[in-house]
C-alpha cells in the first residue's frame, strides 16, 4: 500500500516519469505528512520507510521464486522417473546438528529447535559459513518467528559471543555470512548498534547507499581482497592476509558509522561511544579493544590528512605519525580507509586520491620506523644522501644550478619528494635561466616541464619563472582556459625571486594530460596572459554551462561553506572551502585571496561527486598567519559570496 501511495503521488507531481528524484522526495515526504521540522529529516524518514518496504517486497518475491524452485526439484526427485527406477535415484538427505541439507540450503528438522536452544540463532550462520549454505525459506520464516529470543541476556551469552567471533575470524567468508544474518533480521538484533542503521538515509556528498548497505559493502571490499589477483591491490591484500586480528577489523567496520543514527553533530563521536559500549558487552579488552576504538575514532583521519594537508611537509608527517604511534595501527588504518572509500561509492577511490593516501602512508611508515627516533643530524644526513643521488643522475651542465637550488630551498622540499620530480625541476630551472640570459628584455619568460602519470590519473606540471604580481592566479587562468582540472598546487618562491610552481593536473575525464597539442596551447596562453599590461581574465574564461547544477530547483540549496583556521598548520592560515565544483574555481578563489593582499603557498583540491572540498594555505606578505579577525571575516564573507 505504501509503495502504491508513492507511485500515485509521483504520477500527479511528475506525470509520465515515475522516478523518485531528490527533488520529488521532499514533495512526497511533505504530502505524506512526516512531522520532522527539517525538510532533510522528513526526507530521511520517508526514504527509510520507502527502502524498508521496497526491500521487504524484494525479499518476499525472492522467497516465492525460491520455494517454486525447491518444489520443482522435489517434483523431479519424486516424479515418474523416480517411480520407474523404484526410487533408486533418490538421494539421502544430509544432516547437520538439528538441520537437514538440501540444494545447499539448511532446513529445520522441527519447528521447536530455537525454543529448545535459542543460541542456535547465531550458531546456524556459522554452519552456513563453514559449509557454504544458506537458510531455506522455511528456516528464515522460523527465525523470524523467534526474533523475541534475541534479547539482552541472549547478547551476553558466551556461546553466542564465541560463535559470532568465529564468523568474523574467517577472512574471505565474512561478508556473505553477515548479509545472510542481515536478511534474516538477526544481525541488527544481535548488534542493536548496527540495527539502528537499517535503511538509514543521510543526504551528503559521499554516501550513495543506505548506512547498513554501506557498512556491508565495506566488509565486501575486505573479503574480496583474499582472492584478488590485481597487482594494484597487492599492498592491501598483503596487509589483510597477514593481519593477525580480523575480528577487530570487522567489528570496527561494523561500528564505524553507527553514530549516524545518534543525531550527534559529528557521527565519529557517537560511533566511538557505541564502540566502547559494544566492546564491554562482547568482553573485548586490551590491545584488541584499543585497536577497535582507534579505527572507529580515526576512520577518516588518513583520508583527511592526505586530501587536506600538505603531505610534502615533514611537520605534517610528524603530526600524523604521532596519531598513528606504530606501524600496525597505520597498516590497519590504510586497510580501513581502502574498504571505507570503496564501499562509499564507485568514484570515491580515484587514482589521484589513492596516490595521495599511499604517499602519506609510505612517508609515515618510514618516519615511524626511522624518523621518530632519528635526531636532527640523522635527518640532515638523509637529505644530503638524497641530494648526492640526485646530483649524480644529472648531466654536468645542471650541477651549478642544482647546487644553488639546494641552498635556496627548504629541507622539507627535498625530504618527501621523488628524485625524478626534483630532477625535472632542475631541468626546468636551467631552461628558464638560459632563456632569460638569452632574452633579457622580454616582458615574460618561463620554462615548463610535464611528467605524465597515466597509472595514477594525473600529470605533474612544473612552471619556473620570476615571481610577479598574480602569477599563480594567471597560471590557473591559463589552465582553466583549456578545461584542465587542478588537483593540487605547491608554490615555492626562492630568495632570489625565482618561482617554482608545481601542479598536479588532469583532463575533464580525470586522466593524465596525454594530448601534446593541449600542453603547447597551455604554454602559449600562459605567455599571452603574462605579456599583457592589464590582466583581464574574462576574455579567457568564458562562462561554461554548469552540468552539476540541477535542471529544476532543489528542495534545499547545495551547502556552501568557508572555514578559516590558524590551528591546522604551524606556519600558515588554512582556508577550507566546500562548493559545487567547476572549471576555474581555484582561479576565482585565488583572485579573491590576492584581492585581500594574501600570498598562496599551497592548495589541496579534493572533488567528491561534484563537490569541491578544497584547502588553501595562505600567509600575509611578510610570511605570517592572518590573525586580524576583521580581515578574516571580510575574507570569509567575500569567498562565500563568490561560491554562492
Looking at the fold, whether 240 and 361 belong to one and the same domain comes out as: yes
**Predicted confidence band of residue 355 (pLDDT cuts 50, 70, 90):** confident
Q: Does residue 576 form part of some domain?
A: yes
Tell how far CA 384 is from the center of its chain: 36
Give per-residue pLDDT as tens, 152-182.
999 999 999 999 999 999 999 999 999 999 9
Q: Does residue 82 form part of some domain?
A: no
Number of domains in the chain: 5
Looking at the fold, whether 292 and 344 belong to one and the same domain comes out as: yes
Looking at the fold, whether 156 and 106 belong to one and the same domain comes out as: yes
Distance CA 134, CA 105 (A): 5
Looking at the fold, whether 109 and 142 belong to one and the same domain comes out as: yes
On whether the CB atoms of residues 390 and 402 are closer than 8 A, the answer is yes
Instruction: Please compute, for residue 135, the number of CA atoms within 13 A of its CA located in the half-sphere on the CB side.
Output: 28
User: Which CATH number do you get for residue 512?
Assistant: 3.30.70.260
Distance CA 267, CA 221 (A): 22
pTM: 0.80
Give per-residue pLDDT as tens, 281-338.
999 999 999 999 999 999 999 998 998 888 888 888 999 999 999 999 999 999 999 9
Looking at the fold, whether 289 and 397 belong to one and the same domain comes out as: no
Q: Does residue 78 form part of some domain?
A: no
- Phi, then psi, of 486 in degrees rounded to 5: -100, 120
Q: Does residue 86 form part of some domain?
A: no
623 Cβ contact list (under 8 Å, min separation 6): 599
Distance CA 312, CA 490 (A): 9
Question: Which is nearest to 591 in space by CA: 528, 537, 519, 530?
Answer: 537
Looking at the fold, whether 221 and 367 belong to one and the same domain comes out as: yes
- Phi, then psi, of 438 in degrees rounded to 5: -80, -30
Looking at the fold, whether 242 and 368 belong to one and the same domain comes out as: yes
| Residue 262 clears pLDDT 80, i.e. is over it | no
| Residue 546 clears pLDDT 80, i.e. is over it | no
Q: Does residue 225 form part of some domain?
A: yes
Q: Does residue 445 form part of some domain?
A: yes
On whether the CB atoms of residues 333 and 298 are closer than 8 A, the answer is yes
Looking at the fold, whether 337 and 214 belong to one and the same domain comes out as: yes
Residue with cell 631541468: 427
**Could you list the residue range(s) of the whole structural domain that residue 111 is in?**
92-190
Looking at the fold, whether 391 and 535 belong to one and the same domain comes out as: yes
Question: Which is nearest to 463 in space by CA: 484, 454, 455?
Answer: 484
Rg (alpha carbons) of the chain, rounded to whole number: 30
Q: Which residues pair with 225 in a beta bridge?
A: none
Give per-residue pLDDT as tens, 551-582.
444 445 567 889 999 988 888 899 998 888 77
Q: Does residue 197 form part of some domain?
A: no
SS3 447: strand
Domain boundary among 323, 351, 373: 373
Residue 367 DSSP label: I
Looking at the fold, whether 499 and 594 belong to one and the same domain comes out as: no
Looking at the fold, whether 416 and 528 belong to one and the same domain comes out as: yes
N residues, the chain: 644
Looking at the fold, whether 172 and 213 belong to one and the same domain comes out as: no
Q: Does residue 626 form part of some domain?
A: yes
| Cα dihedral 465/506/489/627 (nearest 10) | 140
Amino acid at each position: 500500500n505504501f509503495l502504491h501511495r508513492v507511485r500515485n503521488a509521483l504520477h500527479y507531481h511528475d506525470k509520465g516519469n515515475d522516478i523518485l528524484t531528490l527533488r520529488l522526495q521532499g514533495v512526497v515526504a511533505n504530502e505524506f505528512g512526516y512531522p520532522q521540522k527539517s525538510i532533510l529529516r522528513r526526507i530521511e524518514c520517508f526514504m527509510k520507510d520507502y527502502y524498508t518496504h521496497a526491500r521487504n517486497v524484494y525479499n518476499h518475491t525472492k522467497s516465492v521464486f525460491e520455494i517454486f524452485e525447491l518444489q520443482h526439484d522435489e517434483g523431479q526427485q519424486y516424479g515418474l522417473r523416480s517411480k520407474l527406477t523404484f526410487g533408486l535415484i533418490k538421494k539421502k538427505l544430509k544432516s547437520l546438528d538439528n538441520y537437514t541439507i538440501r540444494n545447499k540450503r539448511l532446513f529445520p528438522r522441527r519447528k521447536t529447535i530455537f525454543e529448545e536452544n535459542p543460541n542456535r540463532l547465531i550458531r546456524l550462520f556459522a554452519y552456513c559459513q563453514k559449509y557454504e549454505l544458506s537458510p531455506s525459506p522455511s528456516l528464515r520464516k522460523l527465525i523470524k518467528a523467534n526474533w523475541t529470543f534475541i534479547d539482552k541476556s541472549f547478547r551476553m551469552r558466551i556461546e553466542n559471543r564465541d560463535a559470532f567471533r568465529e564468523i568474523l575470524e574467517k577472512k574471505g567468508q565474512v561478508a556473505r555470512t553477515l548479509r545472510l544474518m542481515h536478511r534474516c533480521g538477526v544481525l541488527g538484533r544481535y548488534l542493536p548498534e548496527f540495527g539502528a542503521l537499517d535503511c538509514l538515509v543521510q543526504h551528503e556528498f559521499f554516501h550513495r547507499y543506505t548506512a547498513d548497505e554501506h557498512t556491508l559493502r565495506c566488509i565486501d571490499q575486505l573479503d574480496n581482497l583474499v582472492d584478488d589477483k590485481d597487482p594494484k591491490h597487492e599492498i592491501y591484500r598483503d596487509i589483510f592476509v597477514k593481519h593477525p586480528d580480523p575480528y577487530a577489523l570487522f567489528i570496527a567496520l561494523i561500528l564505524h558509522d553507527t553514530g549516524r543514527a545518534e543525531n550527534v553533530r559529528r557521527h565519529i563521536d557517537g560511533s566511538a561511544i557505541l564502540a566502547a559500549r559494544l566492546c564491554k558487552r562482547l568482553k573485548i579488552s586490551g590491545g584488541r579493544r584499543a585497536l577497535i576504538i582507534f579505527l572507529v575514532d580515526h576512520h577518516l583521519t588518513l583520508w583527511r590528512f592526505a586530501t587536506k594537508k600538505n603531505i610534502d611537509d615533514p611537520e605534517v608527517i610528524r603530526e600524523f605519525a604521532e596519531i598513528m604511534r606504530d606501524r600496525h595501527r597505520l597498516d590497519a588504518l590504510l586497510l580501513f580507509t581502502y574498504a571505507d572509500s570503496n564501499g562509499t561509492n564507485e568514484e570515491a577511490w580515484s587514482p589521484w586520491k589513492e596516490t595521495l593516501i599511499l604517499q602519506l602512508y609510505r612517508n609515515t611508515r618510514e618516519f615511524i620506523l626511522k624518523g621518530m627516533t632519528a635526531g636532527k643530524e640523522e635527518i640532515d644526513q638523509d637529505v644530503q644522501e638524497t641530494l648526492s643521488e640526485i646530483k649524480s643522475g644529472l648531466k654536468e651542465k645542471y650541477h651549478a644550478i642544482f647546487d644553488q637550488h639546494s641552498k635556496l630551498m627548504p629541507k622539507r622540499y627535498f625530504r618527501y619528494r621523488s628524485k625524478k620530480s626534483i630532477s625535472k625541476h632542475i631541468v626546468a630551472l636551467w631552461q628558464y635561466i638560459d632563456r632569460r640570459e638569452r632574452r633579457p628584455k622580454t616582458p615574460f619568460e618561463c620554462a615548463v616541464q610535464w611528467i605524465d602519470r597515466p597509472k595514477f590519473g594525473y600529470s605533474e606540471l612544473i612552471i619556473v619563472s620570476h615571481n610577479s604580481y598574480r602569477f599563480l592566479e594567471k597560471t590557473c587562468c591559463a589552465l582553466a582556459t583549456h578545461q584542465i582540472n587542478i588537483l593540487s598546487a605547491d608554490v615555492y618562491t626562492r630568495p632570489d625571486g625565482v618561482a617554482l610552481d608545481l601542479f598536479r593536473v588532469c583532463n575533464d575525464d580525470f586522466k593524465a594530460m596525454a594530448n601534446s597539442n593541449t600542453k603547447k596551447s597551455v604554454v602559449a596562453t600562459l605567455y599571452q596572459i603574462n605579456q599583457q599590461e592589464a590582466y583581464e581574465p574574462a576574455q579567457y574564461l568564458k562562462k561554461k554551462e554548469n552540468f552539476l547544477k540541477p535542471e529544476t530547483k532543489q528542495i534545499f540549496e547545495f551547502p556552501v561553506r568557508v572555514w578559516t583556521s590558524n590551528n591546522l598548520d604551524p606556519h600558515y592560515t588554512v582556508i577550507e572551502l566546500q562548493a559545487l565544483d567547476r572549471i576555474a574555481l581555484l582561479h576565482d578563489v585565488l583572485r579573491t585571496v590576492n584581492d585581500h593582499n594574501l600570498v598562496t603557498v599551497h592548495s589541496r583540491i579534493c572533488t567528491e561527486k561534484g563537490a569541491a572540498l578544497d584547502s588553501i594555505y595562505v600567509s600575509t606578505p611578510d610570511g605570517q598567519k592572518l590573525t586580524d579577525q576583521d580581515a578574516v571575516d571580510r575574507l570569509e564573507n567575500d569567498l562565500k559570496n563568490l561560491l554562492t
